Amino acid sequence: PFVCQGRSARLPSAVQLPVSTLESQAPEPLNTMAPNSIHWFRKGLRLHDNPALREAVRGAGTVRCVYFLDPWFAGSSNVGVNRWRFLLQCLEDLDASLRKLNSRLFVIRGQPANVFPRLFKEWKISRLTFEYDSEPFGKERDAAIKKLAMEAGVEVIVKISHTLYDLDKIIELNGGQPPLTYKRFQTLISRLDPPEMPVETLSDALMGGCVTPVSEDHGEKYGVPSLEELGFDTEGLPSAVWPGGETEALTRIERHLERKAWVANFERPRMNANSLLASPTGLSPYLRFGCLSCRLFYFKLTDLYRKVKKNSSPPLSLYGQLLWREFFYTAATNNPRFDKMEGNPICVRIPWDKNPEALAKWAEAKTGFPWIDAIMTQLRQEGWIHHLARHAVACFLTRGDLWISWEEGMKVFEELLLDADWSVNAGSWMWLSCSSFFQQFFHCYCPVGFGRRTDPNGDFIRRYLPVLRGFPAKYIYDPWNAPESVQAAAKCIIGVHYPKPMVHHAEASRLNIERMKQIYQQLSRYRGLGLLASVPSTNGNGNGGMMAYSPGEQQSGTNSNNSHLPGVSGSSVATGNGSGSILFNFDNEEQTGPRSVGQQQQQRLHTLPQSQHQQQHAGYHSVPDASQNITSSRLYHEFAVPQHPGLFLHTRGSGITGKRERESEREALGEEEPASCSVNKMQRQSAEVSPQSAEELATSFSSQDFLSEPEPEPERSGRLMQQQQQIFNVFWSKQGFLNFQTYFKVCSQSSREPGEGL
């Protein structure tokens, strides 16, 4: 991600530009009681819907908007020139907008922790405001700054506006753990109040009597630097395909909505050759830098949908792009190792190959597969690629062809991709490499066929790989198969002017699918021959769907009336909840069974963390979050979900629960499952019945590849394998809630374990 401040805070003290020359003769406000504020920009580079900025000017005498740039970091970072340019354009746009309000942006050279104390003193600051950063290193950095500010007697106000929701609330609703499947996430979201409305754009009226003291030499000291000043060679740099800035973002969102209104189709657009190209309605980089408020986008979409669809309530799928982003932010917020395989509790350990040469070929668009190389060229030149193009290159690098770690690909995207947020980037890479989130792995994008289906003509290839321009469409995706005469006519000999394919795709995908199967079979303790069943799922759905451990699902599961499928947006819409609200009413899924205990407990569990939450933030949030007041009574009633694992027991054998359970149920009834090996079935079943038994763990591990193991030995599986299996237990066990905690305990214990001695 673009982690200018976050990273620099960890780096050794950087070269400091002279900040000591800060103007000390700044005009003091007449009313000494009116606070002097600093608003600290990081993401959220906008004046619209910026609640923290609003707090900065509220009743203040002076306000200064600062952005920290570490020039030393700029040179050494692995952030590419496109991302730097986008950032600088955002800052210029901010400065221009602030000028219209007789203010300016202060770009400060240095690191926040070093510079803030001086700023506080010299500007006589009593209030610091900034947008909440949910990412682990951001939280760490902000905690340090808060401490520093409080010591200096500066009040700190933090506001959530980079995400739609308070992520901690989503996690709390899920029993204290982040949801690990997108479906589960959607379910949780559908039970939350809608996001808060965007706040008013900063204006003269809002500024009121608040002024910004600006010195003569502001440009010199605090101006937005140029790319050259940051040490980038800009000669021959083509103009930006994605110009940065809030103004551009607001133009784009209007165009985006106009097009949607014109198409009047809110389904996910199907991909075609055109969708591969940068679109003037694309928004993702603007959301990433916060030039565009996700809440503004959310509500504009909602309004448009209501207008076009005559007031029917929008399905969650309308907000797909925003919710995916939110999902990965939620998954990452408490996981500092979210971008790593090792030590990351939600990441499956896959024995990826270390192969720097192959990695370089991929990153530098020299794989010999035109489809992959064209995408990587577009990424490097423009900073954006279509999401299916991301899937294609990510699959190729990892589980599809090269078997190289997703972490390496993530780093390349971090350098080149304008919208690569730390959480979203890492999360998507884990998803695409099937390293987490319980994704089916059977489908690998073919580096030849996928492109051909999307753009049969190959215009995309010709645009980004001019060397292949002369090839006819028939061969443009696999030019190595073209006869020599065709290559000669195209003035491009494969192996001379353009590389030969670096892997044999059929062979590589055969090996890799086998490897993924092995890994997932070990984890899921599944012994059968099926490929699909290797990935655990509790509703027979490949994407992991509903997790057995989730309290809400258990409750839904007891409802055997299939025509009413509660818990997710789509079905709620389908069952005709015409309230016009995206907050779905769950009253009709209230349990008939004894639930009072569960509800009481639920109340307690919900109340407790919330009050803790408030206590924690006292001092930072001078203005209490309005939503906390509204929710209380409704939350407890509507979200009455049992937290005690004991209550899950009665859901066994219900109609909607997982396939595995259904299977054992059927077996118990003596029905024969056709054409399935009885030995395998027994192994599976026993593994399911007592997932915690050490012997079971051992058996499954050791006999992983031998379908008929003669005599299982009681050997304990490796520690790491245990860890991974713990993840899966969460999904399979009826007491998942407990297991999840056990699992985290196991992980934290073993990570403290010293290096193996043998």
Within residues 369-428, the interface with another protein by CB under 8 A covers 387, 390-391, 403, 405, 419, 424, 427-428
Q: Is 419 annotated as a binding residue?
A: yes
Q: Which is nearer to another protein, 40 or 450 (CB)?
A: 450
What is the largest distance, in Å, between two alpha-carbon atoms of the chain? 89
Q: Which is nearer to another protein, 112 or 179 (CB)?
A: 179
Q: Among residues 461, 466, 500, 496, which one has the least CA distance to residue 481?
A: 500
**Is the alpha carbon torsion for 572, 577, 581, 584 positive or negative?**
negative
- Taking CB under 8 A as the criterion, the residue among 657, 700, 723, 725 binding another protein is 657
- Alpha helix segments (H runs only) across 11-162: 51-57, 71-76, 81-100, 112-122, 136-151
| Interacting residues with another protein between 171 and 210 (CB under 8 A) | 182-183
**Nearest distance in Å: CB 534, another protein:** 10
Q: Is 420 annotated as a binding residue?
A: yes
Determine the interface stretch with another protein among 8-16, 122-130, 376-384, 525-533 (rule: CB under 8 A).
525-533
Determine the interface stretch with another protein among 207-215, 500-508, 615-623, 633-641 (rule: CB under 8 A).
500-508
- Taking CB under 8 A as the criterion, the residue among 513, 583, 605, 738 binding another protein is 513
**Angle, CA of 670, 559 and 644, to the nearest 5°:** 95
Q: Which is nearer to another protein, 34 or 486 (CB)?
A: 486
Q: Which is nearer to another protein, 205 or 758 (CB)?
A: 758
DSSP string, 166-207: -HHHHHHHTTTS---SHHHHHHHHHTSPPPPPPPPPP-HHHH
- Taking CB under 8 A as the criterion, the residue among 132, 352, 586, 639 binding another protein is 352
- Taking CB under 8 A as the criterion, the residue among 45, 101, 533, 641 binding another protein is 533
Q: Is 228 annotated as a binding residue?
A: no
Can you list the positions of beta strands (E) in 648-734? none
Measured between alpha carbons, how far is 79 from 69 in angstroms, rounded to an integer? 13
**Nearest distance in Å: CB 262, another protein:** 19
| Interacting residues with another protein between 571 and 610 (CB under 8 A) | 571, 573-574
**Nearest distance in Å: CB 3, another protein:** 18
* Per-residue mark of binding to another protein, 693-722 (x: CB under 8 A): -x-------x--xxxxxxx-xxxx-xx---
CA dihedral 736, 742, 748, 752 (to 10 degrees): -150
Residue type at 267?
Answer: E
**Angle, CA of 238, 241 and 243, to the nearest 5°:** 105
Determine the interface stretch with another protein among 121-129, 555-563, 581-589, 599-607 (rule: CB under 8 A).
555-563
Q: Which is nearer to another protein, 25 or 272 (CB)?
A: 272
**Nearest distance in Å: CB 400, another protein:** 10
Q: Is 515 annotated as a binding residue?
A: no
Determine the interface stretch with another protein among 85-93, 110-118, 536-544, 735-743 (rule: CB under 8 A).
536-544
| Interacting residues with another protein between 455 and 474 (CB under 8 A) | none
**Nearest distance in Å: CB 43, another protein:** 16
Q: Is 643 in the site for another protein (CB under 8 A)?
A: no
Q: Is 328 annotated as a binding residue?
A: yes
Taking a C-beta distance cutoff of 8 angstroms, is the pair 642, 603 a contact?
no
- The first and second tokens of residue 684, run together, are 């599976």
Measured between alpha carbons, how far is 587 from 123 in angstroms, rounded to an integer? 54
CA-to-CA separations, 753 to 719, 720, 724, 749, in angstroms, rounded:
10, 12, 16, 7
| Interacting residues with another protein between 259 and 298 (CB under 8 A) | 267-268, 270-271, 284
CA-to-CA separations, 296 to 200, 279, 518, 616, in angstroms, rounded:
11, 20, 45, 29
Burial (CB count <10 Å: 0-12, 13-18, 19+), residue 592: exposed
- The first and second tokens of residue 615, run together, are 């206590």
Q: Is 306 in the site for another protein (CB under 8 A)?
A: no
- Taking CB under 8 A as the criterion, the residue among 302, 381, 577, 676 binding another protein is 676
- The first and second tokens of residue 85, run together, are 């340019």
Q: Is 671 in the site for another protein (CB under 8 A)?
A: no
Q: Is 365 in the site for another protein (CB under 8 A)?
A: no
Determine the interface stretch with another protein among 189-197, 487-495, 514-522, 626-634 (rule: CB under 8 A).
514-522
Measured between alpha carbons, how far is 337 from 327 in angstroms, rounded to an integer? 17
Return binding residues. 321-328, 419-421
